[in-house]
Amino acid sequence: MTDFFEIDEKQKTVKILNLDDFSIEDLQNYISELETEISRVKEEIKKKEKSKLNAEKFFK
């Protein structure tokens, strides 16, 4: 995944890439990696939402 991503550790963001220099194959690979990352983030959100609900039940 890090083949395409440049991370700004201070801001905790991904730097925007100039896509002009990418081949079609590179762009397709980039999309695939982004889709994988989106799935990973969605799973993390689900875990955090579940933890939040459990904490809210515990502290009621």
For each of the chain's 60 residues, which pLDDT tens digit applies? 456 777 778 888 877 888 898 999 999 999 998 999 999 999 999 999 999 999 988 887
CB 1 within 8 Å of CB 33: yes
Residue with tokens 């989106």: 38
pLDDT at residue 10, as a whole number: 84
Q: What is the pLDDT, as a whole number, of residue 6?
A: 76
CA quadruple 40, 3, 16, 30: dihedral sign: negative
**Which pLDDT score is estimated for 23?**
94
Decide: pTM greater than 0.75: no
Coil, helix or strand at residue 45: helix
